[in-house]
Structure 1
């Protein structure tokens, strides 16, 4: 079993890498772009659609707002990209928004950003994969009923690729990202050229009408403004992933800050061009789409079960001459790929941020360490698990998941820009060089404008999406914030409890050592445990057994005397046939009569087995005994292993470290080992 697991692990993630190979995982810009920018680039595939879905609740009357709202999204994206270029230059360590806010606004505010970003990374995986599956279904409608299974399979695949390492995931995702950019640019060029030439593309849905939702037909005044704000907040999903590069600066090649800033600028420019082109073609080709297909008049087929085609699918069909053209299938293929691979941004950002938080003792320490391939594998697995659960609960529906999205992004945007303004203010108080001060003033203005705009958008998103499901994201972020505060308090209190104030006093040896060896029968493991106990030269040593079956006790006494063992054997009364309670009670009674610096050492024989199915057959009584004794003050528990022949065979077969095997520099098999919470055996 151990060998099979090791083989599967190596097939999935590859050979283990040494710690000094970390530099080999640093990324050039051409690989960093698809790894960190795939989310921001891919969101152009659904951002326009999300705006239209909101505007068409009132029918076709309000779609004229699309262009103006798209212009606002483009302006917002430009401001955010410029702002984050200041972040990567000022804070190249990779903490991103969390580090900026923690340093300048305090740790509590930094934890707000961290909680919001962690939730948003989970949503990035869920929304990106669901949107990718939507585009697959648009090309192959027969897969509609398998959408949840497809989504979960893609999450597992992404996790496996990322477990192989950053460079490997970059190579795997580079081609789809660049093919998507090329395909959408060609589509936009052809579509706009046809429009300029007087032959504009026409979408398949251009002839559909849209029935307004009840009460949404004749909106006026504040109601129209509210509708526009809702549409704008949905379109702002195009900004998701912009912050990922600021979190991943350490992954870039040197000079890290400059390369990260260059990649961020390239990402922003490409995303703006693609989003503008797709939105313009959607308006030119007169794409009609609604949140419910049954509101589309003229929709062919069963509106309750037949899926609508996505906006980008309709645009591709209109530009390239139908849904049987090569261009249509090319766009659908690369769009589905990049939407699914966009989740890779989160698979890089989430583990990095979780590692930083674990280093600061806000998350479990297991999230801090790297795995075999120098990736933060525990963070990758945690992200895949939670995102997969969301996809299953929400049936991989983009419309349902999108309401939980982007709230965390704008929380981090706003607080990080406010933090940067504070950073520049502090820098100005100490800087004297005129040229440097001029640059700082410019950067402060950029971050100040960014804070104002993203703060306004945050309010809009919160107001317009709260009751539609965003409250769940808020609740999740609050719960995560409280959990991280609790983890930090636990680590702090533990550190304070374990801190050494007087090393000489703590280093003093025990006054007396009392050793107790639980036994149930006289065999080789028992004799080894007794021999080790004698080698310790304790002040007192006794073997104890619980009287469960009188005949067994009489036989043990007879064997003990015949063997001439000079360790006294004490029989404990156990009227209710409870071995653990009898031994624990006896050990505690010894402790009650001991001095404050006396130590009681309970030495337990333990079987080491070679097969998983053997484990339930042994070591159960000792497991219960350990679990009780480890919580008893003044008690030390030592396991003396006895390796069964099956463990030796397993060690010979296993290419890795089998149970009970010994590495160079470890004690030989005859030496005892301290228990790690595993099971033991008293010989029964």
Structure 2
């Protein structure tokens, strides 16, 4: 099953073959910011229409502010790519220039952002599928979880293979949106403007959003702006994925970042302008629409891009309408692939720095960071299930982590250029650095203000959960690092070389006299310990007497020691005996040999060795105690009746007691 889903294993020396050309890297790392234009405009109108249609005049100015912000972020991260091409992105910039604490804040924010990217992108994609097929609304959560599982399986197959699959839908979406914008404006210039289905509908304003003035109106505009800033999500992913590009890595990554910014700005501006000029209506509660056909309580409103496609291309049954909807749904779902690349890469770097479990640094069969991919899928799937796949609910948890990393990253870049200017004296280099510092300083101030706005406007709508999650992740990563540091300090070799134990006491556990027991005794004697004890627990008196009789009849050259088990607990009896030996010989080493038989079928493990597993787990916590398993592999076929006579032969008695 694993080979069917993941594919054949790839050798480590073929890692270079997984590096990406620009045409594949664009859909792999930029599908999230490219796809967010499908719902960024929608989120702006969603907030403004809470007050009816009175505040829609603010939408163009909000869109202009978002375009400027997107341009600044793209230019700023191009500086990051050239200055830090190792792939740490915002985390590396903040760690090197602002300290480990700031780096961990950025890392926590990005991890939260990547999880939300998967949840929001998949939910938005399913929304567009439901817009084309409303009868699927009842299966919203199931569709979401199914797409998360599909994305996980594709990414487990490797970056290059998943990139090829995801490239086609991304380019289909970009071409489709550009055609939609071009045809829509051409129809306007020709005097036949498209008319969306909602253009004639009226909106019932929310009672507490009527007649807003002063600070209340400003807060509404800021909330709409913060919702529209979803257009910037995933913009930093390329700076985190520089190592995945083909050489020259920095140049290719910077060019891809520039192309991503150009396409995002063009598509977002075009969709927003087209939606405002054609008077598209979109509200949070469908029942607030006056003139909406059907039952507003059970029917879902079509997304803005779906309404525009139907208006521009001649109805909701045209080929181009279905093309736009299919391409939009695909890229919104595949936009989660940006997080599937960014989260495991960042997790690997954090694991390498000992801030996350080391398992996240391990590459899987297809040279992808499989553990990080699976962890991302589980957390994102849980959020989708918890919020029932609602984009409106999930998006409130979005953005905050994005602008936290943006702000700290750009602040760190300003300090980076300040340090570089102290060592460079060439006039052209200094002029370039001054220009770069100005870009990053402007970006830091701008994104910092947006972070404040987002925190204030979204806090009571769900963002408080992110405000809690980021510090918790920060504390958790610090605790993991302290643990690894403490373990490393204790495992460091002592000065003076290896210290030998004074004496070795061997204890062989005996439950019954069979071939595994004889092998364990033979192996223990072969190691020549200072003392050797065959130990059994008196759980059932009759069984102990029978064991002693058989032991004497066979002439085993090791005395059988019986310990009491008044509560029929083997583990406690053995632990008490071992503790007594340790008390009498605190500087000596105790080796406990546990005979086990190994079965050939997975389900047979449930029938054997359960007591041994519990005992080993307890013994591992005892000081100066070593546990040695002595396996006996069972034949998966029929038993050999002569096997009982072919028992291991014990070596001559060499125990020094």
TM-score range, shorter chain: over 0.9
CA contact (8 A) 1:403 1:465 kept: yes
CA contact (8 A) 1:125 1:346 kept: yes
**Greater alpha carbon shift after TM alignment, 557-566 vs 599-608:** 557-566
Q: Deviations over 1:528-547 (max 9, x none)?
A: 00000010001000101111
Root-mean-square deviation (CA, aligned residues, Å) is 1.2
Q: Hey, what does 1:404 align to over in structure 2?
A: 397
Q: Hey, what does 1:290 align to over in structure 2?
A: 283
Q: Hey, what does 1:553 align to over in structure 2?
A: 544
CA contact (8 A) 1:608 1:647 kept: no
Q: Deviations over 1:11-38 (max 9, x none)?
A: 1011011110100000000000000000
Q: Hey, what does 2:635 align to over in structure 1?
A: 645
Q: Secondary structure, in 3 states, of the residue corresponding to 2:209?
A: coil
Q: Distance in 1 between matches of 2:636 and 2:473?
A: 45
Alignment of 1:144 onto 2:144: no
Q: Hey, what does 1:682 align to over in structure 2?
A: none
Match of 1:92 among 77, 85, 89: 85
Q: Secondary structure, in 3 states, of the residue corresponding to 2:199?
A: helix
Q: How does 1:246-645 map to 2 (within 5 A)?
A: 246-504=239-497, 507-596=498-587, 598-645=588-635
CA contact (8 A) 1:611 1:647 kept: no
TM-score, normalising length from structure 2? Answer: 0.96
Q: Hey, what does 1:56 align to over in structure 2?
A: 49
Alignment of 1:166 onto 2:159: yes
Alignment of 1:42 onto 2:35: yes
Q: Secondary structure, in 3 states, of the residue corresponding to 2:207?
A: coil
How far did residue 197 of structure 1 move? 1.6
Q: Hey, what does 1:22 align to over in structure 2?
A: 15
Q: Deviations over 1:48-72 (max 9, x none)?
A: 0000000000100111111111111
Q: Hey, what does 1:218 align to over in structure 2?
A: 211
Q: How does 1:125-144 map to 2 (within 5 A)?
A: 125-144=118-137
Q: Secondary structure, in 3 states, of the residue corresponding to 2:505?
A: strand
Q: Deviations over 1:359-412 (max 9, x none)?
A: 111100000110010000000000000000000010100000010001000000
Q: Distance in 1 between matches of 2:541 and 2:134?
A: 74
Q: Secondary structure, in 3 states, of the residue corresponding to 2:463?
A: helix
CA contact (8 A) 1:43 1:237 kept: yes
How far did residue 576 of structure 1 move? 2.2
Q: How does 1:64-213 map to 2 (within 5 A)?
A: 64-213=57-206
Q: Secondary structure, in 3 states, of the residue corresponding to 2:208?
A: coil
Q: Secondary structure, in 3 states, of the residue corresponding to 2:296?
A: coil
Q: Distance in 1 between matches of 2:217 and 2:150?
A: 43
Give the direction of change, closer, same or farther, for the CA distance of 1:548–1:132 in structure 2 (3 Å limit).
same
How far did residue 215 of structure 1 move? 2.5
CA contact (8 A) 1:201 1:284 kept: no
Q: Secondary structure, in 3 states, of the residue corresponding to 1:442?
A: helix
Query: What number of residue pairs does the alignment pair up?
Result: 640
How far did residue 508 of structure 1 move? 2.1
Q: Deviations over 1:78-127 (max 9, x none)?
A: 00000000000000000000000000000000000000000010000000
Q: Distance in 2 between matches of 1:563 and 1:305?
A: 81
Q: Secondary structure, in 3 states, of the residue corresponding to 1:241?
A: coil
Q: Distance in 1 between matches of 2:303 and 2:186?
A: 23
Q: Distance in 2 between matches of 1:447 and 1:228?
A: 26
**Greater alpha carbon shift after TM alignment, 96-105 vs 638-647:** 638-647
How far did residue 498 of structure 1 move? 1.6
Q: Secondary structure, in 3 states, of the residue corresponding to 1:425?
A: helix
TM-score, normalising length from structure 1? Answer: 0.93
Q: Distance in 1 between matches of 2:109 and 2:208?
A: 35
How far did residue 595 of structure 1 move? 4.5
How far did residue 615 of structure 1 move? 1.1
Q: Deviations over 1:203-251 (max 9, x none)?
A: 1000100011012121112221111111000001000010000000000
Could you tell me which runs of 5 or more consecutive residues in structure 1 were left unpaired when the two chains were aligned. 1-7, 650-669, 671-684
Please identify runs of 4+ aligned residues in structure 1 that moved more than 4 A.
none
Q: Distance in 1 between matches of 2:69 and 2:607?
A: 64
Q: Secondary structure, in 3 states, of the residue corresponding to 1:606?
A: strand
CA contact (8 A) 1:202 1:284 kept: no
Q: Hey, what does 2:654 align to over in structure 1?
A: none
Q: Deviations over 1:248-272 (max 9, x none)?
A: 0000000000000000000000000
